[in-house]
Amino acid sequence: MEKIVLPDIPNFDKIEVYKKHGGFGAAKKAFKMTSDDVIDTVKKSGLRGRGGAAFSAGLKWSFMPKTTDKPKYLCINGDESEPGSFKDRQIFEYNPFQLIEGILITCYAIGAKSAYIYIRGEYHKWVKLMQEALETAYKDGFVGEKMKKTFGTDFSCEIYIHKGAGAYICGEESSLMNSLEGHRGYPRIKPPFPASKGLWGCPTTINNVETITNVPKIIEKGWEWFSKIGAEKHPGTILYGISGHVNKPGVYERPSGTLLLDLINNEAGGVIGNKKIKCVIPGGSSMPPLRGDQLEGIKMDADSLRAAGSAIGTAGIMVMDEDTNLLKVLLRISRFYHHESCGQCTPCREGTGWLEKTLRRLDSGNGTSADLDLLISVANNIEGNTICALGEAAAWPVKFMVDRFRDEFEKYVKTDVVIPVNNKVHSMRNTANPLANIKH
Ligand SMILES: Cc1cc2nc3c(=O)[nH]c(=O)nc-3n(C[C@H](O)[C@H](O)[C@H](O)COP(=O)(O)O)c2cc1C
């Protein structure tokens, strides 16, 4: 299988090696096409965003206005703060020039003269590597004014790198734009969508690092070639980041639609100590967890995972073995989302706090079965009631983990609870409805 995004070519992060393997040939080809043809090619290829929502990249580009007196912008989302996701940094390190070439082609297609690569604040090493690669590309005439001569075209664009400050919320596209503008990383209400009113109020496209790194190969080899790889409706390869209780955690580039168990058992070397799998989160910590005994036949693409009751997200596969304490896992996840909630929307700001607090109560041994219902109820009250999808990110792991592993969570609840009713002390067996089983 040909690897598109992370090819097994030594020193591919060196510009001479990249050029030797045809690097920047796709940009040259694209600049001879019309921008509409480039968009059409990407649309027909079936390329879908790799940043979480799996939205068609070509379709998104086509939303950019053709005629406008405002500048247009491209933002590359490399915030990568979702727990379990660590694939974009591989591109910064091992294939920075293909990302740069993808940016050139995308800018040309949408008519942008400036692109911003937004990189996660903690990624010091990768910011530095990407900055060095960008400087080399500028020096060798592949970016900026000099590219006109290099490619023999009238088109040129500038690329800037922006380092975040360590906020998960700034990966959400509208917060990312606010952050780039120097404002607090608060998500914006949509509509208006970025294609009509984005960065500095101008038409803007935002795409994930991996999405854009696919583009040069699509232009070079054609949409038919790309559309035949992997799952029909979600074609191409995917960078699967596998972590947790596996023998060989890492990032594996394989076709979309690869069996989840194949990735865990064959690529990642199976579960440590040959233990059974208790739970897998297939797309980064915000996606619905799946039970280990229900993984047979599940494929890793957007549609198959939706049918299985989860979502592809960033394809960060988190594997938990049979000895895992899921209460501790969920508490850790919920603590993260509580900490990262920007505080703008009340259901998220307050709800994430309640989730953490309730899980802490269960973890301390003072929780009841009613707390399990409370968790689901709080999660339901967050979901769909916030400006951005951080609400869903916080709600889904709780809602689905408690629901799908109720047996597991029941182990941590107090079985005999004493509650005062009408000033008398009553003992009650633990139950989902605390008032249903009061013993007088
Ligand atoms: C809270 C939150 C965090 C996000 N973080 C990221 C991120 O780190 N990287 C990313 O590409 N997309 C992230 N997204 C999704 C982006 O909003 C956006 O959909 C994506 O960058 C679009 O790129 P794509 O279409 O190429 O996938 C996040 C969304 C939310 C709600």
Hey, where are the domains in the chain? Answer: 15-227, 237-321, 326-410
Q: Using H for helix, E for strand and C for coil, what is the string for 84-134?
A: CCCCHHHHHHHCHHHHHHHHHHHHHHHCCCEEEEEECCCCHHHHHHHHHHH
Sheet of strand 290-291: strand arrangement: 250-255, 237-244, 316-321, 277-281, 290-291
For ligand 1, residues with CB inside 6 Å are 49-53, 55, 77, 79-82, 168-169, 171-173, 206-208, 211, 388-390, 393
Residue pLDDT, tens place only, 277-335: 999 999 999 999 999 999 999 999 999 999 999 999 999 999 999 999 999 999 999 99
Cross-strand bridge partners of residue 253: 239
**C-alpha 208 – ligand 1 centre gap (Å):** 7
CA distances from 331 to 93, 168, 302, 342 (A): 32, 18, 27, 19
Rounded Cα distance between 365 and 386, Å, is 32
Residue located nearest, by CA, to atom 1 of ligand 1? 390
CA distances from 342 to 145, 154, 169, 345 (A): 39, 43, 7, 8
Residue located nearest, by CA, to atom 13 of ligand 1? 171
**C-alpha 171 – ligand 1 centre gap (Å):** 5
CATH code of domain 237-321: 3.10.20.600
Looking from the CA of residue 55, the nearest atom of ligand 1 is: 25
Structure tokens given for 265: 């058992």
Looking from the CA of residue 389, the nearest atom of ligand 1 is: 31
CATH code of domain 15-227: 3.40.50.11540
CATH code of domain 326-410: 1.20.1440.230
pLDDT tens string, the chain, 440 residues long: the values are 899 999 999 999 999 999 999 999 999 999 999 999 999 999 999 999 999 999 999 999 999 999 999 999 999 999 999 999 999 999 999 999 999 999 999 999 999 999 999 999 999 999 999 999 999 999 999 999 999 999 999 999 999 999 999 999 999 999 999 999 999 999 999 999 999 999 999 999 999 999 999 999 999 999 999 999 999 999 999 999 999 999 999 999 999 999 999 999 999 999 999 999 999 999 999 999 999 999 999 999 999 999 999 999 999 999 999 999 999 999 999 999 999 999 999 999 999 999 999 999 999 999 999 999 999 999 999 999 999 999 999 999 999 999 999 999 999 998 766 566 666 655 444 444 434 344 43
Residue pLDDT, tens place only, 194-253: 999 999 999 999 999 999 999 999 999 999 999 999 999 999 999 999 999 999 999 999
| pTM for the model | 0.94
Amino acid at 298: I
**C-alpha 129 – ligand 1 centre gap (Å):** 22
Looking from the CA of residue 173, the nearest atom of ligand 1 is: 17
Identical fold at 15-227 and 237-321?
Answer: no
